[in-house]
Each structure stands twice: as C-alpha cells, then as structure tokens.
C-alpha cells in the first residue's frame, strides 16, 4: 500500500496529503498510480505464460486517467454501458480487449461494439441473444459472444452484490445454457467464443470460485460433446480486498487452483475492486463537533452523495487522521455528513481524537466511491487527484454550483 505516515503526516506515495488538501480543497479523492499498476500486474503475472486477459471492471472507478494508466500496461476492460465503453476508447483502451457485460444492452450499444470490433458480448438472456443476432444480421457481421451462466453458487457476500444465485437477475440458468448455446451455434451471424460466469463481489474465500469453476467446466465438456467449441472461459471478478481485518484471497494461489483445472483454455478475469479499492482514499474535513449525553458526532464536509457505500451497504471503511500526532477531543465518534438524511454517515463508533478543521482519510475508497457519487442535495461532486511518486495531478476538477444546472431549462410561459 502506498498510503503511510511519514513524520506523523499521512502520505500518498511520497506526497503529503495535507499539501494536497491545500492545493485542491476538501473533500477529495486521492489515488496511487503505483498501487493501481501493481495490483493489475499481480493478476497478470500470476498466469505466467498461460493464455489469459485481465479485464479491469470499469464500473469500480471509471476516471479516464485510471483507465489510461491501465491501458498503457496492457489491460483489457470489462464494460457494462456504452458510456463506459467510450471512456475506455477515449483513454486509449483497445476495443479488441473489451468484454461487454450487463443485462440490458441496447441496439445502439450493440451496434457500437460491432462497429469498433469489441472482443466479446457476454450474453445474459435469450432475448439479448436475439437482439444481438438481429443487429449483426442487419450489419452483415458475425457478433462474438459468450453466454453468462448462472451456476447457482452462493458467494456468501452482501445480497446486493451477490450475482450467482437463481434469484439474481444476472445470467442464464446453467440448466438452460446448452439449448441457448445450440441456438447461438446454429446462427449465421453469431460467433460463439466463450463461456462467462460471475458469482458476486467482495469475496474473501476461494471456495465459491472453485465451486463455480467446476460446474462451468462440466458444462464446457458437454458443449464440446455437441461440437460447440469454447475458446475462452471468463470467470468474472469479485476478489475482495481488506477494508478492516478480513482474510483476503492469495491471487497467485487462486490462479494456480484455476490453472490446474482448465487445461489450455484461455482465461479472462474481470477484477475491479481488487485493482483500485485500496489504491484510493477519500479525504474529508471536520466542520463541527457535536456531543450529547448519548453520542458524539463529528460533522464532516464529505457525505453519502460523495461516498455511498457506508449508507447503501452498511460498508466499513477504516478512518485515519491526516496528522496522527494531532490532539483534540478523545471520544467514540460517528462521522456524519451535511445531507438531510439520518443515513448520511461515513463511519460509526470510531475512537478518534478530533478538533474542528482536522482532515480525515476514509481508506480503501478507490472502488465504488466516485463512480457511485451524485449531486443529491445539489452538492457539486468532488475533485480527484492521482499521485505518482513525488508528483500529483488533477484528474477531475471539482464541480461548481453553476455546473449543477447548466443542462437545465426554465419553461418560458406564454
């Protein structure tokens, strides 16, 4: 990790966070380029010479500077919308290294993917396969597809980020997959390339992955018996990170378990959180301290519109003072924001010594932080900065109040 204390002040790589706050203001997202690159390479290098493609899941953090850093070192990309796709292309990513996931692909999205030579569409339903075939027929091109199979494996994660059960909206029931593969195989304008499987996010145990892998390998064997060749197996993402004291998956051991089972089959992985989660922090300022007989509240300038995960998932993020030597009021604090919602908090019951004006770092905020942010309560979205060694770069400027309504119009009466 590139976030550490140096002379009692929290640094991002070699840059003092306090200096970043003076330059860019609060609240602020800060990312470490070194961590992003190293995290991706850990996946890539674990495969050695085995055919593979590590596709970063853009939804985790879609800033084009982040995407450009990854594109430069050879990453592929997992996208779920045309907006993410265009971001990747604008950042220098290659369409031939992009896989298109998501349950509701539009005709426009399919056309654009085929126009620029996307690597593969991950098909989530028979209706979607029909639409892809219709668009490909009209354009007179063969659409590359894999089918996302739902293996009915319990990832044992938060229900909002579990995707591999029959009750989830994603994918095709594994028992129905053969018939859909046969339909795709018999189409003049569909090119069956792979099989896709993703069971959930923030997994900290390798066993659900292996359970799902064994099920889809059995399916691939059955498809081969029917003359349907599968060239690649996309096992999705979902590898968890350490937010608190979680046991996390050893990447090389996980990939090793995989490679012992798959033979020469090309593997695609789609990590997102594992690439950027611990590579970013969210920094916020204490505006007021408010205590009563029951609770101590640190009222901060960051809010649920800036970092939704605690309010939405009940997610835990470690919180560190920027100045670890600062002395203030010692108490067990709830860190609450300015939004007019009781659910507006970033952390609860944290033992901290605080004063008004202190800066606090909400750790492990690089994934699903800015990408899930909004303008709720008409709050401008915050700035983002990337640090590399002893240098820092603004990669998204802070929105202004004027930005909030630049695209809105007053109805002219009469």
Question: How far apart are alpha carbons 130 and 150 in whole angstroms?
Answer: 19
Catalytic one among 55, 120, 197, 340?
340
pTM assigned to the model:
0.94
* Whether the Cβ atoms of residue 35 and residue 278 lie closer than 8 Å to each other: yes
- Mean pLDDT lowest for which of 90-94, 304-308, 394-398, 409-413? 409-413
Contacts of 24 (CB under 8 A, 6+ apart): 383, 385, 394, 398
Is it true that 3-31+277-404 and 33-274 share their CATH fold? no
* Whether the Cβ atoms of residue 319 and residue 284 lie closer than 8 Å to each other: no
Question: How far apart are alpha carbons 97 and 268 in whole angstroms?
Answer: 10
pLDDT at residue 175, as a whole number: 87
pLDDT grade for 170, boundaries at 50, 70 and 90: confident
Q: Give the model confidence (pLDDT) of 319-364 as tens digits.
A: 999 999 999 999 999 999 999 999 999 999 999 999 999 999 999 9
Task: Answer whether residue 160 shows pLDDT above 50.
Answer: no
Question: How far apart are alpha carbons 66 and 199 in whole angstroms?
Answer: 25
Measured from the Cβ of residue 159, the count of other Cβ atoms closer than 10 Å reads 11
Indicate the DSSP class of residue 297.
E
Average pLDDT, the chain: 94
Fold of 33-274: TIM Barrel (3.20.20)
Question: How far apart are alpha carbons 355 and 287 in whole angstroms?
Answer: 9
Question: How far apart are alpha carbons 97 and 76 in whole angstroms?
Answer: 5
pLDDT at residue 201, as a whole number: 85
Distance of CA 219 to the CA centre of its chain: 28
Nearest C-alpha neighbor of 181 from the set 212, 134, 139, 224? 224
For the domain spanning 3-31+277-404, the CATH number is: 2.40.37.10
pLDDT at residue 152, as a whole number: 77
pLDDT at residue 151, as a whole number: 86
pLDDT grade for 17, boundaries at 50, 70 and 90: very high
| Mean pLDDT in residue range 220-224 | 96
Task: Answer whether residue 167 shows pLDDT above 80.
Answer: no
Burial of 196 per CB tally in 10 Å (0-12, 13-18, 19+): buried
pLDDT grade for 414, boundaries at 50, 70 and 90: low
| Mean pLDDT in residue range 87-110 | 97
Question: How far apart are alpha carbons 62 and 56 in whole angstroms?
Answer: 10
- N residues, the chain: 414
Question: Which H/E stretch holds residue 12?
Answer: strand 9-12
- For residue 197, indicate whether it is catalytic: no
pLDDT at residue 303, as a whole number: 98
CA of 396: how far to CAs of 34, 287, 407, 410, in Å? Answer: 19, 24, 19, 29
Burial of 234 per CB tally in 10 Å (0-12, 13-18, 19+): buried
Question: How far apart are alpha carbons 49 and 334 in whole angstroms?
Answer: 49
Task: Answer whether residue 53 shows pLDDT above 70.
Answer: yes
The domain ranges of the chain are: 3-31+277-404, 33-274
pLDDT at residue 365, as a whole number: 98
Q: Give the model confidence (pLDDT) of 61-86 as tens digits.
A: 999 999 999 999 999 999 999 999 99
| Residue 231, both tokens | 């060239």
pLDDT grade for 200, boundaries at 50, 70 and 90: confident
Nearest C-alpha neighbor of 395 from the set 97, 12, 33? 33
Q: Give the model confidence (pLDDT) of 117-141 as tens digits.
A: 999 999 999 999 999 999 999 999 9
The sign of the torsion formed by the CA atoms of 134, 135, 140, 141 equals negative
Task: Answer whether residue 163 shows pLDDT above 50.
Answer: no
């Amino acid at each position: 990790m590139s976030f550490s204390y140096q002379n009692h002040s929290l640094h991002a790589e070699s840059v003092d966070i306090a200096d970043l706050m003076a330059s860019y203001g609060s609240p602020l997202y800060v990312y470490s380029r070194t961590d992003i690159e190293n995290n991706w390479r850990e996946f890539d290098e674990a495969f050695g010479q085995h055919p593979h493609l590590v596709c970063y899941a853009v939804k985790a953090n879609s800033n084009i500077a982040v995407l450009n850093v990854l594109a430069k070192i050879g990453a592929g990309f997992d996208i779920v919308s045309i907006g993410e796709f265009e971001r990747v292309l604008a950042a220098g990513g290659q369409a031939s290294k992009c896989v298109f996931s998501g349950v509701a692909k539009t005709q426009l999205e399919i056309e654009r993917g085929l126009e620029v030579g996307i690597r593969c569409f991950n098909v989530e339903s028979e209706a979607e396969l029909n639409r892809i075939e219709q668009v490909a027929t009209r354009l007179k091109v063969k659409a590359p597809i894999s089918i996302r199979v739902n293996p009915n494996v319990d990832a044992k994660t938060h229900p909002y980020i579990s995707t591999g059960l029959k009750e989830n909206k994603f994918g095709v029931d594994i028992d129905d997959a053969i018939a859909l593969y046969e339909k795709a195989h018999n189409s003049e304008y569909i090119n069956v390339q792979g099989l896709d499987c993703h069971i959930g996010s923030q997994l900290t145990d390798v066993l659900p992955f292996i359970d799902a892998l064994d099920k889809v390998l059995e399916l691939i064997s059955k498809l081969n018996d029917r003359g349907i060749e599968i060239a690649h197996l996309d096992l999705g993402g979902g590898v968890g990170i350490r937010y608190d004291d979680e046991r996390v998956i050893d990447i090389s051991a996980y990939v090793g378990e995989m490679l012992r089972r798959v033979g020469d089959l090309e593997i695609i992985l789609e990590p997102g959180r594992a690439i950027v989660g611990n590579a970013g922090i969210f920094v916020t300022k204490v505006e007021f301290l408010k205590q009563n007989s029951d609770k101590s509240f640190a009222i901060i300038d960051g809010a649920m519109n800036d970092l939704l995960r605690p309010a939405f998932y009940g997610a835990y993020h470690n919180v560190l003072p920027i100045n670890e030597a600062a002395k203030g009021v010692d108490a067990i604090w709830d860190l609450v924001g300015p939004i007019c919602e009781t659910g507006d908090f970033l952390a609860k019951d944290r033992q901290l010594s605080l004063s008004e004006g202190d800066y606090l770092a909400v750790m492990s905020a690089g994934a699903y932080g800015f990408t899930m942010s909004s303008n709720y309560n008409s709050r401008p979205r915050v700035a983002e900065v990337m640090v590399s060694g002893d240098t820092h770069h603004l990669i998204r400027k802070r929105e202004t109040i004027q930005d909030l309504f630049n695209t809105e119009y007053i109805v002219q009466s009469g």
